[in-house]
Amino acid sequence: MQTEILNLWVKCYQSNPEANLRLFCLPYAGGGASVFRLWAQELPLNVEVCAIDLPGREKRMGEKPISNLESLTEILVEVFLQHLDKPFAIFGHSMGALIAYELSRKLQQKNINPVYLFVSGHSAPNVPELYPPIHLLPDAEFTEKLSKIYNAIPDTVLKDKDLMELFLPVLRADMTLVETHIHSQSEPLDCPIFALGGLEDKEANYDSLVNWHEYTRGSFSVQMFPGGHFYLNENRQALLEFLSQTLKDL
């Protein structure tokens, strides 16, 4: 893949060449790089925040979203190989956590490991799903389930038919990616894992997060924050304070 195409995938809102660590961030279903737009302003100066800009949303709206996790992570490995000039950590929330974990597995096969892997708002792969798959449902039912179960669509978007027409294909592709992925057994990761979640999140509660300890040979801990599934937006300050304390001395 050409370098200029690979560069579409990484968005650093505040370039920081003096940083000694790069934090790559992967969004939740339907989310884009802008979820992490303000993070660079609140994390330590030694950290450069780089959001992964997935196709089908925001400035890549005209591109077809990728609905297969294996295909996506193969591309992301190529992307990461272009950004190995300094140590890095990976943060992913919900769908992004699943992508981050599978990406870390592929990178480890190439003897490349993040300093830390932060898996947020997603239960460990060996925890059964709480809800039946929804990615094949008709639009109206699909939208209703996303809204009621996952609280994944803002009211302003729900009430705007034009926005929903743009938004639905991305959400359906993202849910397809998550719901059709079949986890295969492999060696645990060598990197430490932090499992993060919201105290009021029924989808990824403490008990489902603690199972992530089985997927690393490194250190492991669980950190819970006030808020629901989207605690990272509801209580961003607390999350960023935790990340700051964790990353500042690297």
28 touches 53 (CB < 8 A):
no
DSSP letter for each residue of 36-50: GTTHHHHS-TTEEEE
| Both tokens assigned to 24 | 């790559």
Identify whether the C-beta of residue 250 lies closer than 8 Å to the C-beta of residue 115. Answer: yes
Amino acid at 172: R
| 94 a catalytic residue | yes
Q: Is 145 left (phi over 0), alpha (psi -120 to 50) or beta?
A: alpha
- Judged on CB neighbours under 10 Å (0-12, 13-18, 19+), 188 is middle
- Please pick, among 15, 67, 71, 94, the residue that the annotation labels catalytic: 94
| Strand-strand pairing, 117-120 and 193-198 | parallel
SS3 21: strand
168 CB contacts (<8 Å, ≥6 apart)? 139, 142, 143
Residues with a catalytic annotation lie at: 94
